Amino acid sequence: MKQLELTIGWLYPTLMSTYGDRGNVICLQRRCQWRNIHVSLINLDQQQPPETYQQVDLIVGGGAQDRQQAIVMSDLQGAKAHALGAKLEQGTPGVFTCGSPQLLGHYYEPKLGDTIPGLGLLDLTSKHPGANTPRCIGNIVFTITASPLAAELTTLWGDTPLVIGFENHGGRTYLGNVQPLGQVIKGYGNNGEDGLEGAFYRRAIATYAHGPLLPKNPFIADWLIQTALREKYQEEITLTKLDDSLALKAREAVLNKLNLTNRLNKA
């Protein structure tokens, strides 16, 4: 059997990794290593030239404070912005949390200071309603409704995926012509008004769920790995099953705490 390899690109790790988002990277690395898939990590930061984006098979972007988002956007311009956009259009899978999706949209209006223009890759806008409006903080639970993601996750996991995470954002996101990632069961999601959470475009998952997301929802981690392998090797690769009993226990504990045990399923 050939040696499988994946390269993860991590967007601006020192500027964009709030609330344990680096856990998403660690989770992907470990789930690859446990299956003997060689994994390398490239920091897509100020030091990297735009060409580096072409080497990555999977992209991770974390959350950030408003100030850090502005610094990132001053670097993620021109050829780099184009390279990231090209990867997403090609169907490179990725997971983008909180501040990252705000930057993938048209713009983000922060609490203070000038509007931060986004990359316009996702048809969404985000706006902080001001210092007097409370942040959206707490555990979040949602179902994935995006197509074909929901169906693919169900095939992978054998049950309807219920996503558990933690959100902490001041910005409110409003979707244009882009699919939501899911429907909120508990929590705020994109804006606390329309019941929608995140966005899904090509193979990019955009979400307000930190948590970190992937260790609590290992089926999303495996979908990212499997999709990245399929794209890279242009063939269907079945992942060996891992022992997720600890993750399942953690999920059960959160759902218990939120009085949602009736929603408990295998995922």
> CA Rg, the chain, in Å?
17
Number of residues that bind ligand GLN (CB under 6 A): 12
Tell me, what DSSP letter sits at residue 146? -
Q: Which of 6, 10, 11, 18 binds ligand GLN (CB under 6 A)?
A: 18
**Given 27, 32, 98, 136, which residue is catalytic?**
98
DSSP secondary structure of 24-86:
HHHHHHHHHHTTT-EEEEEEESTTS-GGGGGG-SEEEE----HHHHHHHHHHS-HHHHHHHHH
| 60 touches ligand GLN (CB under 6 A) | no
Active site residue 169: no
Q: Which of 10, 25, 58, 66 binds ligand GLN (CB under 6 A)?
A: 66
Q: Which of 169, 203, 216, 251 binds ligand GLN (CB under 6 A)?
A: 169
Residue showing tokens 């996503």: 163
Active site residue 210: yes
**Residue 40 forms beta bridges with which residues?**
7
Closest CA relative to residue 219, chosen from 82, 95, 65: 95
Q: Which of 25, 37, 44, 98 binds ligand GLN (CB under 6 A)?
A: 98
Q: Which of residues 68-97 bind ligand GLN (CB under 6 A)?
A: 69
Angstrom CA distances, 153 to 74, 85, 133, 227, 236, stand at 36, 25, 36, 11, 15
Nearer to ligand GLN, 67 or 82 (CB): 67
| 9 touches ligand GLN (CB under 6 A) | no
Q: Which of 9, 61, 99, 189 binds ligand GLN (CB under 6 A)?
A: 99
How many CA atoms does the CB half-sphere of 163 hold within 13 Å?
34
| 170 touches ligand GLN (CB under 6 A) | yes
Give the residue numbers marked as catalytic.
Answer: 98, 210
Q: Which residues bind ligand GLN (CB under 6 A)?
A: 18, 63-66, 69, 98-99, 168-171
